[in-house]
Chain A
């Protein structure tokens, strides 16, 4: 027999009494008690003995009001009992009927604050639960059992509303599909239950009185006026207001190491080394909080010691001269040492060890102090800077006790975010959904490179608050934030404009591209897959190798893509690989953006949503191609600083002229593209120009066919349209007769160079004639200039004559 609910149990009945009294009843009882007490006193003063009875009757409503607050408003679970009514959250318990169906349970959840949490954070609103819950009472036992299992699994005190939400959703046969609609999985509800429990624990922890040593705590230690001026006393800040700190496993190790270092007799210093955003400063805060907690088990020589963070900028501004600054630092350090209860913290300690804007190299002053190890100090440093300083000054590094801080994993980052967001929610008056937190982790991991986790996800979530929808920060808000700040597109195409553009991509590209239907079609398909959310997110949007002779539109297609889809031709990262012919050029390819902003990784960091054009790939050194393998395969390239740079939102296009002659041969022999493409690619693999594993990394190898004269006629139209666009400013247009166009094609056609000479010919004929017409005043604004075949003949004739004379002369 399954578990059942006992409606008549005392705890259930008490919960209903609590619901009946409610906040209004509680207020009424307090008011009644005050009125009775006051009325009774008035009567006694007026010498009426009835006043005694009236005043004393105030005790009963006061007693009931106290009972409501002390027990009924939140009836604690009966620990030893396993019955439903003994452990069910009192809010839900109060609203249950005698034999509740899952639908009744859903209704009860909907009336509690606990239930509202799942509505706001997960989109599992009361209405949603009512819609999915069955009306069959026979289904209820399964709900209770599932909820009890979750309670035991998560080691909860109560059978909370969250456990019932989980059970209700799980009972639905196609819950996975339904939750997928909300961008979540069933286990996410469990994470939500943990989140809610954690918030309850935080509130409980913060409502407890704090013991921080009392008024005489610092009487045995010295005054620190200089430190108060040039630093912030973190301990005082904590004692005044407290911090919402997170107990993280990774931080716990670092904290223990700090305690260990400062409680033993070795050098009294530690350096926290880790990437920016990893939580080094948070660890210092947590350490200060631990020292200040009277209940923590710490050696007596550490308890109530104060952590003061030195402010380098105020020190530098107060002592601009070199000698002055060193004097001031010595005074500050002497004061800290003499006070006997100070632990100095040099946050971003590299500012004290290198020359630069806002930083001064004080190694000569600091090294002896650090080496002596008597003044307690904590330094925090970016790992890269630590390495740089260690190269310059190995003595300094040897004198420091290093503690490495690793970036947080997903579970820990989510915990940190949930804690830190409490303050953001309060200050920005917003509520973050669970999905937004999850999405912030995913997107920041991919796009935010200048910080480590959890800092990078937190930064994104904070900026997402500006994109809230009716006070809710959703997954969409996070996507908007990253789209606006990083100029990328991460959301599934939802806007009708966007959808229209995607569906008609081929047509849009063909507005500026002639022929090459297959190439246009494969890249369009790749983009559609990406924006419909059905592509592999761990690879680039598409990787293509464009093969064909010069002037057939390989680069033009890349430009067209960048323009039509990514928003402009400037959204193309172009690398001419004939500049990467030596193995040392790999370094240039992955150089740090600060040193070389033109490196591939630096450009991709700035513009992850773009077309990456690797021109003339056959000319690159094999080491360069090997480096590019990971990019093509996983969409990741590590830069020289070992930072992961994502190319997962880029289209990678490599172009090559390899085999151009062979393509021409096929065409000359009358083959169509689909008849020789496969054979041609096989020939290319066999030729050994590219390693097979390199070619295998591309989604598609697309062969571009040489343009024929009919295609070039269309190219003429495109170029003329371009000329007209330029002339639009002068309110003049140009038209070219059909005969003239054919003549232009005749003159501009070069089977070896494709469409490239066309532009020169048109420039010479059309643009020159138009320029002359404008300058001579023949055309007036609003009129059109027509170019005839004879004008083409005449201009080209002159040009040819000039060319002949030039050749003769040479």
Chain B
């Protein structure tokens, strides 16, 4: 039985903890891919959905109008992308903090009964009044 506990604890603080970290990093990577922040940054000023993006030939007034349209399309694109970059960055931040907390909690799980025993001995319980 002793050996079983030793094996369990050595896995918990060794390969088990590493596996949790790996899973956390995968989740972070997957979220990064979902928000595609790198792609958003690279294409920040690209016309949104190619609306009014094509080349226009013709008199100067039409070309000026096309330039203005393209500018608006690029502006809308940059605006939408920036919003998503902010939302994505916030989400990744929350995820990272959550991951760190989880990794730390993981380390204290085996000693939780000891913590529980101390609380019981102290006799403290939350009151609801």
Q: B113, A60: Cβ atoms under 8 Å?
A: yes
Q: Kindly list chain A residues whose C-beta atoms are within 8 Å of the C-beta of B112.
A: 56, 59
A209 in contact with B26 given A56-B115, A215-B84, A220-B43 (CB within 8 Å):
yes
Instruction: Decide if A67 touches B11 in the complex (CB within 8 Å).
Output: yes
Q: Are B117 and A209 in contact (CB under 8 A)?
A: no
Q: Which of A14, A54, A214 contacts B39 (CB 8 A)?
A: A214
Selected from B29, B39, B124, the residue in CB contact (under 8 A) with A213 is B39
Type the 1/0 row for A27-66, where 1 means its CB is closer than 8 Å to any CB of B.
Answer: 0000000000000100011011111111111011011101
Interface residues of B in 7-49 (CB under 8 A from A): 7-8, 11-12, 15-16, 19, 26-27, 29-30, 33-36, 39-40, 43, 46-49
Q: Given the interface contacts A213-B39, A219-B81, does A14 sit within 8 Å of B7 by beta carbon?
A: yes
Please indicate the chain B residues that have their CB under 8 angstroms from the CB of A55 in the complex: 116
What is the CB-to-nearest-CB distance from A648 to chain B, in angstroms, rounded to a whole number? 55
Taking CB atoms, residues of chain B closer than 8 Å to A47 are 125, 127
Judged by a CB distance under 8 angstroms, whether B101 is at the interface is no
A269: Cβ under 8 A from any B Cβ:
no
A280-304 interface with B by 8 A CB criterion? 294
Given A55-B116, A63-B12, A70-B15, decide whether A216 and B36 contact each other with a Cβ distance below 8 A: yes
A258 to B15 Cα, complex, angstroms: 42
Cβ 8 A contact of A57, one of B50, B53, B116, B123? B116
CB-contacts of A522-545 with B (<8 A): none
Residues of A within 8 A of B122 (CB): 49
Total count of chain A residues near the partner, CB < 8 A: 44
Among A62, A214, A217, residue most surrounded by chain B Cβ atoms (within 10 Å): A214
**Residues in A neighbouring B30, C-beta threshold 8 A:** 209, 211
User: Could you tell me the dominant secondary structure of chain B's interface residues?
Assistant: helix
Measured between beta carbons, the chain B residues less than 8 angstroms from A222 are: 49-51, 53
Instruction: Return chain A residues, CB-CB under 8 Å to B4.
Output: 17
Q: In the complex, what residues of B have CB within 8 A of residue A71's CB?
A: 11, 15-16
Residues of A within 8 A of B7 (CB): 10, 14, 17, 67
Q: Do B33 and A219 touch (CB < 8 A)? A: no
Q: Is A13 an interface residue (CB 8 A)?
A: yes
Find B119's partner among A49, A57, A64, A211 (CB 8 Å cutoff): A49
**A44: B residues at CB distance < 8 A:** 125-126
- Assembled-state Cα–Cα distance A631/B29 (Å): 62
| A62 close to B50 (CB less than 8 A) | no
Given contacts A14-B7, A216-B40, A220-B43, contact A67 B12 (CB under 8 A): yes
Complex CA gap A2/B100 in Å reads 49
Alpha-carbon distance A562/B54, docked complex (angstroms): 72
Q: How far is A52 from B116 in the complex, measured between Cα atoms in Å?
A: 5
Task: Check: A203 CB closer than 8 A to any chain B CB.
Answer: no
Residues of A within 8 A of B93 (CB): none
Q: Is B60 an interface residue (CB 8 A)?
A: no
Q: How far is the CA of A70 from the CA of B116 in the complex (A)?
A: 26
**Chain B residues whose CB sits within 8 angstroms of the CB of A221 once the complex forms:** 49-50
Residues of B within 8 A of A213 (CB): 33, 36, 39
Chain A contacts with B in 184-243, Cβ cutoff 8 A: 209, 211-217, 219-223
Structural contact, B19 and A220, CB atoms closer than 8 A? no
Residues of chain A lying within 8 A (CB to CB) of residue B27: 209
The reply on B109 being an interface residue by CB < 8 A is yes
Q: Mark A61-86, 1 if CB is under 8 A from B, else 0.
A: 01110110011000000000000000
Closest to B117 in A: A53
Say whether A57 contacts B33, CB under 8 Å: no
Q: Contact check: which of A40, A50, A51, A339 meets B50 at CB < 8 Å?
A: A339
Give which listed residue, B16, B34, B110, contacts A70 with CB less than 8 A: B16
Known: A44-B125, A67-B12, A215-B84. A56 touches B117 (CB 8 A): yes
A62-B116 contact, Cβ under 8 Å, with A214-B35, A219-B43, A220-B50: no
Contact, CB under 8 Å: B39 / A216: yes
Question: What chain B residues lie within 8 Å of A338 (beta carbons)?
Answer: 50, 53-54
A63 to B12, CA, bound (A): 8
* A49 in contact with B123 (CB, 8 Å): yes
Cα-based distance from A56 to B113 in the complex (angstroms): 5
Contact of B34 among A49, A62, A214 (CB under 8 A): A214
**Interface pairs (23), CB distance under 8 Å:** A44-B126, A48-B125, A49-B125, A52-B120, A52-B125, A53-B120, A54-B116, A56-B114, A62-B109, A63-B12, A66-B12, A67-B8, A67-B12, A67-B16, A70-B11, A70-B15, A71-B15, A215-B35, A216-B39, A219-B81, A223-B49, A338-B53, A339-B50
Which residues of A approach B to under 8 Å, CB–CB?
A: 10, 13-14, 17, 40, 44-45, 47-57, 59-60, 62-64, 66-67, 70-71, 209, 211-217, 219-223, 294, 338-340
Q: A52-B120, A56-B116, A67-B8 are in contact. List 15 more A-B contacts (CB 8 A).
A: A14-B7, A49-B119, A53-B117, A56-B114, A59-B109, A59-B113, A63-B109, A67-B11, A67-B16, A209-B29, A216-B39, A216-B81, A219-B49, A222-B51, A338-B50
